[in-house]
Chain A
Amino acid sequence: MSNKPILEIHNLHATVGGAEILRGIDLTVQRGEVHAIMGPNGSGKSTLAHVLAGREGYEVTAGTVRYLGQDLLALSPEERARAGIFLAFQYPVEIPGVGNSYFLRTALNAVRKHRGLESIDAMDFLALLDEKMTFVEMDPALVKRSVNEGFSGGEKKRNEVLQMAVLEPTLAILDETDSGLDIDALRVVATAVNRLRNTDHAVIVVTHYQRLLNYLVPDIVHVLLNGRIVRSGTKELALELESTGYAGLEAHGGAAAHAS
């Protein structure tokens, strides 16, 4: 296994619709690490997540992103996914007419093909799906429906976690997966994340609140403000933010030095 960092972001700048949202991000993620990225609305958290996943319309204007040593920004969204990057969406889209189970199997086979593995057959897939659904405590009826169609907010999030559990990404990015979830669901998300961490994979958890971090202890917490990481620290930083809010950071002009 490579000793290269899973992700190295250097001076990343990105614009959306002409507006600069990311203004020089530096971030390194090693194997087995869980990073939490916190920050107020509009600070660029979701933009960073989407830029890493390759969303069109998010234009990188400067900086580099290396994933396992290779230039991530040169890859299409599907190439990134096959190489092991997974974005759990904040607002998963409903896709009427595309069966959830079929979709997941197609995705898994695309990833397996890239890894030089054979396609998984329908029976083996169903067994795998059964196991993963039990793991994420998902209602089995949901995989028989169209992707996210008519799912509640919580069911959509759980479906994201199910996909993550099936695809076993090298780097998972959870974009506010915790918002709107009850305590049981938060526990499931935390368990799924810890499983990835324990197998030497890495996770970036983008979150607004520290609530999820009660279930999931991040190695490093970063605070994103106006498109820059203004502080990094241990989980205590998250607790501190919970009591003082982001306002205190803004008072520092958003230019505090890295704490870690």
Chain B
Amino acid sequence: MNAIDGYLSSFERVNGSVPEWLTKLRRDAMSRFTDQGFPSTRLEDWKYTDAAPIARLPFRLAAALPVRVDREVVEAASFGVGTRLVFVNGCYLPELSSTDALPAGVRITSLSRVLTHEPVLIEAHLARYANAGHGFIALNTAFIQEGAVVYLPRRTVVPELIHLLFISQPAGEPVVSHPRILIVAGDDSRATVVETYVGSGTSAYFTNAVTEIVLGANSDITHYKLQRESEQAFHVATIEAHQAAGSRLRSYAVSLGGALARSDINTRLDGEGCECSLDGLYMAAGTQHVDHHTSIDHRRPHCTSRELYKGVLDGKSSGVFNGKVYVRPQAQQSDAGQVNKNLLLSDDATIDTKPQLEIFADDVKCSHGAAIGRLNDEALFYLRSRGIDAAAARDLLIAAFANELVERMQAAPVRAQLERLVWSRLHGAAQVEACP
């Protein structure tokens, strides 16, 4: 039985006490997936990332595993404030979640609950945005069962962090989960959502996540995705955002874990005066492979987009950055800026970076730049000449490179956690007593 048949047979076993519209969506998605299959490296967008290792492994649905909860993992990944939804192996764990004191009308809950109790809330949105694209999206849609819904009625503000924590604890055989997240921000609403993916153990697993973010007029969403899967993990995630007039999206994608991690982050600026910033940080070592594909689609006039992705690649790791910016003919006065900077720490590390601007309007301001460099020898010597040993000096410079990105994050608890994570990733941390 090949992998696609394997998914097909699990698909047929997924029990379906879901609304009819969803059953149809899933069935359509499954047939799209069986047509498309896994993306091949012949596709331009998958040229540098080979999905074959994922296609080869016969993954079982993780939700079939008995749930063991490692509370330490939960607490270590948490921020201690705000709302938290915890998922282990794709299952929602209400006893570890906290959803107190939310403004009237706001829903922050599991997808399965919404599907059971008020599917009408999401019917117009679920799987309406991330519908095309590569086979992994179709596969996720086919297996929509669990995930998170953040629903903000008009003019509501959730001041504290909304944390969606996805933990994988595989037990031996390869397992897959397909988390599905839907964020619907009504007009003039505002919230900050953090998705964390963490994994433990030494067995392989696969996380295939899809997030849809719908931004109403003048809404303001900050979204963090913190990917810290285990070393054996495969992680594929797609974030698809649609922005109405005057809305603002700030996206931060941080990728630290996984054997193979691919993130697609796409936003469509579909009304006048939208703003978006897509920022990302990836750090890879060993034989890790990390790929970010972003797309910003300027479809209306007077929109602004900014993008900064920074990568640190060590060992034999490989990185990919592809940033597309489209400016449609009617999108006059677009202002788009994109930068990708990479730090290669070893001779064997590689990066393929490709900025891609496609501009069809004439009155626009667009810029892009990509840089690949090594640690600055002069800076290293300067630090050493003041008594700081070579390893610590190197770590200081790497952390400084990464922190340019971390410092852009407004949410202080996220920033603090990342400063710690970046620092602890670097060896020789013991020589320096605290983070800069």
Contact = CB atoms under 8 A, between A and B. Distances in A.
Given A93-B379, A96-B400, A97-B399, A114 B387 contact: yes
Interface stretch (A34-42, A103-111, A187-195): A103-111
Interface centre among B379, B382, B385, B388 (most CB of A within 10 A): B385
Interface in A65-117: 76-78, 80-82, 86-87, 89, 92-93, 95-99, 102-103, 106-107, 109-111, 114
Contacts of A76: 384, 389-390
A53 B399 CA distance: 25
A54 interface: yes
Nearest to A84: B387
A55 interface: yes
B118 interface: no
Contacts of A77: 381, 384-385
A110 B382 contact: no
Contact of A110 (B376, B389, B401): B389
B391 to A, nearest CB: 10
B377 interface: yes
A107 B400 contact: no
B394 to A, nearest CB: 12
B311 to A, nearest CB: 15
A126 to B, nearest CB: 14
Nearest to A121: B433
B398 to A, nearest CB: 10
Contacts of A82: 387
B379 A110 contact: no
Given A102-B436, A109-B433, A95 B387 contact: no
A95 B385 contact: no
Contacts of A89: 382, 385
A56 interface: yes
Interface in B303-324: none
A110 B401 CA distance: 22
A119 B384 contact: no
Interface in B16-36: none
Contacts of B396: 98, 103, 106
Given A97-B399, A98-B436, A92 B386 contact: no
A167 interface: yes
Nearest to B378: A93
Interface residues of A, number: 33
A46 interface: no
A47 interface: no
Nearest to B389: A78
Contacts of A93: 376, 378-379, 382
A189 B384 CA distance: 23
Nearest to A82: B387
A119 B431 CA distance: 12
A163 interface: yes
Given A54-B385, A55-B381, A56-B377, A97 B433 contact: no
A98 B433 CA distance: 14
Contacts of A119: 433
B378 A97 contact: no
A146 B397 CA distance: 12
A111 B388 CA distance: 8
Contacts of A102: 436
A83 to B, nearest CB: 9
Given A95-B397, A102-B436, A106-B388, A56 B381 contact: yes
B403 interface: yes
A81 B379 contact: no
A210 B399 CA distance: 42
A67 B28 CA distance: 78
A92 B382 CA distance: 8
A167 B386 CA distance: 8
B436 A95 contact: no
Interface string B166-208: 0000000000000000000000000000000000000000000
22 contacts: A53-B385, A55-B385, A56-B377, A56-B381, A78-B389, A78-B390, A87-B385, A89-B382, A93-B376, A93-B378, A95-B376, A97-B397, A97-B399, A97-B401, A97-B404, A97-B436, A99-B436, A103-B383, A103-B436, A106-B396, A106-B433, A110-B388
Given A89-B382, A107-B386, 15 more contacts: A55-B381, A56-B381, A77-B384, A81-B385, A89-B385, A93-B382, A95-B376, A98-B396, A99-B436, A106-B392, A106-B432, A107-B387, A110-B388, A119-B433, A167-B386
Interface of A: 53-56, 76-78, 80-82, 86-87, 89, 92-93, 95-99, 102-103, 106-107, 109-111, 114, 119, 146-147, 163, 167
